[in-house]
Structure formats: C-alpha cells, structure tokens
Amino acid sequence: MGIFDVPAGMLIEEIAKELKGKVQQPEIFNYVKTGAHNERTPNNPDWFFVRNASILYQIYKHGSTGTGSLRTYYGGRKNRGVKPEAKKKASGKVIRVCLQQLEKNGLLKKAKKGRVVTGQGEKLLYTKSKEVQKVVDEINKKKLMQKQERMDRIEANTKRRLEEKKAAVQKANAEAQKEKRPEAKEAPKEQKEQPTTKGSPEGKGEKHERRPEGKKA
C-alpha cells in the first residue's frame, strides 16, 4: 500500500499526532497568523503540528522543495473590501521554523535546492499510511454494510407494496365478479291439482246428464 493510495487529509492528521510529541512549537506562534491573507489566527490549536505534517507530505510528493515554493503553496487570496482580491504568500517565518524542526528530528535533510525527505521521514509516512488504510477499510466496510441494509429495506418495502397491490387487485376482481353474477330467481309455487270427474276424456271435469233408467229415448 503506497502513501498516495490513502486520503492525504487523514494521513496528515495521523502524522501531526505523531509529531506533536517531537517538534516544539514556539510560544509566539499561539498569537500569529500563518499569512497576510488571513484575517485571524488559526482556529485549530494544533495547527503548527498539522503544518509540519503537511510540509513533510508536500516535500515527499514534489521532491526537493524550498521555502519560496512552500510560501506560494500555502498562500491565499487577501480580502481587500471593495478592491479586487490580491494573491498573498504565506508567512516565511512559520515555514522556516517548521523545516528546521523537521530537520532537527531527522525527517528532512538539506539538498542542493531546498530540502528532501530522509529515510526516517519516508518510514514514518509509510507506517502512518498503513494505519490510515486500516481505518479507511473499516469505514468502507461500514458504508458497504449500511448500503446493503438500505438495499434490503428497499427490497422488502417493494415486495410488501407489490403484495398489497396484488391483494387489492384480487379483491377488486372478486367484487366485480360478484356484481356481474345474476340473482337467483325464486322457484314457482306448485299449483294444487283439481280432481277430475269420471268420463271426462280430457280430464277437464265436464259434467254429463244421466238418463233415467227404464226409459227409452
């Protein structure tokens, strides 16, 4: 795992924690600005150690670097009110003290043009990059788990909605079928059969006169 494979901000923070017990911050730096472009002193009480770690990282990244290049890099735009903003360089005093402190701890050494990172400084960068990578892996793992949980919830909600929709459609179809089905008609009442008289060929109950006996027509 290389130094540039991890987030630079996290790496610089870890190096700053390591340098906090090694480099010494001048007391006057509690009251100074880091450049003419800033309106106030830094809000971070550990800004001096962060600046040392950042300088170490920048020199490793770009190779031999001097104070002038670092002043340009850490500079910024000065707010001049109604006038256009002006580009200002960072404080040279702060950068020189940082370089001297890093060199004193064996992390930098003088070169033909500026300073370069020593083997000890490179070892510190690699060691901290491995620690940062572990933290990054844990963060990515946690994010992946959260993403999977979110996808599972979405899938469960989608499945539930589909089941509710399916049940609603089935209920609507059942009600529609019930409305289309004709109502059952009442069975006709049975009519009582009337008794028929004898001699009625058609069984209609017609009456016939009987002739008196002993008389001829």
Inside any domain, residue 143: no
Give pLDDT tens digits along the chain (217 positions): 688 999 999 999 999 999 998 999 999 999 999 998 999 999 999 999 999 999 999 999 999 999 999 999 999 999 999 999 999 999 999 999 999 999 999 999 999 889 999 999 999 999 999 999 999 999 999 999 999 999 999 999 999 999 998 898 888 888 888 887 665 555 566 665 555 555 555 555 555 555 555 555 4
Inside any domain, residue 85: yes
Give pTM, 2 decimals: 0.69
CA distance 76 to 91: 11
Inside any domain, residue 28: yes
Instruction: List the CATH number of the domain containing 21.
Output: 1.10.10.10
Inside any domain, residue 155: no
**Number of compact structural domains in the chain:** 1
Q: Return the sign of the alpha-carbon dihedral for residues 61, 66, 67, 71.
A: negative
Which two structure tokens, joined as six digits, stand for 204? 């209609």
Inside any domain, residue 33: yes
Q: Which of 85, 87, 48, 92 is nearest to 69 (CA)?
A: 92
3-state per-residue secondary structure call for the chain: CCHHHCCHHHHHHHHHHHHCCCCCCCHHHHCCCCECCCCCCCCCCCHHHHHHHHHHHHHHHHCCECHHHHHHHCCEEECCCCCCCEEECECHHHHHHHHHHHHHCCCEEECCCCEEECHHHHHHHHHHHHHHHHHHHHHHHHHHHHHHHHHHHHHHHHHHHHHHHHHHHHHHHHHHHHHHCCCCCCCCCCCCCCCCCCCCCCCCCCCCCCCCCCCCC
Inside any domain, residue 105: yes
Which two structure tokens, joined as six digits, stand for 147? 């993403």
Domain containing residue 39: 3-132
Q: What is the pLDDT of residue 202?
A: 53
Inside any domain, residue 30: yes
